[in-house]
Amino acid sequence: MSDGFTQFTGLMALPALDSPIWQSPAAAFRQGLRAVATTILTAVLFATYLGIGALAHDTHFSLGWVLASTFFVWAGPAQIILISTLGSGATVAQAAIAVTVSAIRLFPMVVAVLPMMRTPTTKKRHLILPAHFIAVTLWVECFRLFPMVPRERRIPFTLGLGCGLVSVCLVANVVGFQLAANLPQSLGAAILLLTPLAFLLSTARNCRELADVVALGLGLALFPLVSLLHTGVDILISGVSAGTIAYGVHLWRKRR
């Protein structure tokens, strides 16, 4: 995959940093939109949001509701937690707590990415919309693409990239919702399986340290045990426990 990945990105190279194309913000926005086509992560997002559309259908949410959730929430794991906890009978407060904790990971992403698009003249309000678009995909892509984008054009570039990715996911939601409504059961099940598969593999791909692997493996193993307790916040309990143990592994390795 990594070879195909570089070939693919090589095909759609961005203009040189001193190219006149970067002189207009509108052109930078268009370059951001075009960059959506240069990443394998777009395909992963499409598969994930296809699954979310199908999940929403099978848990009796409306198409408009799931589209609104993609537009306003814009975080796949949060949307899945929201749909699956509400769908399994949790209260709104329980769902809100689980989603809030899962969303903490957005904080370090925003902290890491925004300084890269700031210039001395940038106001905080210019960064509100770029901050809304930040989720794991945009975070990864900003690190990859920003070195090829002039600093003063990174905000419109990010907005283009964000709008492009959201549009792809809205289309995927519609397709997934309609497929779940019309496909025979075994194919509908295949679409629902896309979400855990795509999440598992893209998270595994991001694992850099032993602690990441422990967090992923232990998180998978602990949930089935914790779910026997039926607390309504099972995901929270298993996630905080497994994550803290993984952090302990990180500390232990650092000390040695």
Chain residues 96-125 in contact with another protein, contact rule CB under 8 A:
96, 99-112, 114-115, 124
The token duo for 254 is: 């650092």
Using CB under 8 A as the binding rule, whether residue 163 contacts another protein is answered as no
161 is a site residue for another protein (CB under 8 A): no
Binding positions for another protein, 165-204, rule CB under 8 A:
180, 185-204
Q: How many residues bind another protein (CB under 8 A)?
A: 106
> Is position 127 an interface residue for another protein (rule: CB under 8 A)?
yes
Cα distance between residue 189 and residue 100, in whole Å:
28
Out of 10, 13, 18, 64, the only residue in the binding site for another protein (CB under 8 A) is: 64
Among 117, 134, 142, 145, binds another protein (CB under 8 A): 134
Which residues in the 6-35 window bind another protein by CB under 8 A? none
Query: Which residue stretches of the chain are H helix?
Result: 2-11, 25-35, 40-58, 63-72, 76-87, 92-102, 106-117, 128-133, 136-145, 154-182, 185-206, 210-226, 234-255
Q: Is 26 exposed, middle or buried (0-12, 13-18, 19+ CB in 10 A)?
A: exposed
In the bound state with another protein, the residue whose beta carbon lies nearer, of 27 and 77, is 77
Q: CB 217: neighbour CB atoms within 10 A? A: 14
Instruction: Quote the tokens at residue 175.
Output: 């397709």
The least distance separating another protein from the CB of residue 60, rounded to whole angstroms, comes to 9
For another protein, the closer CB: 78 or 149? 78
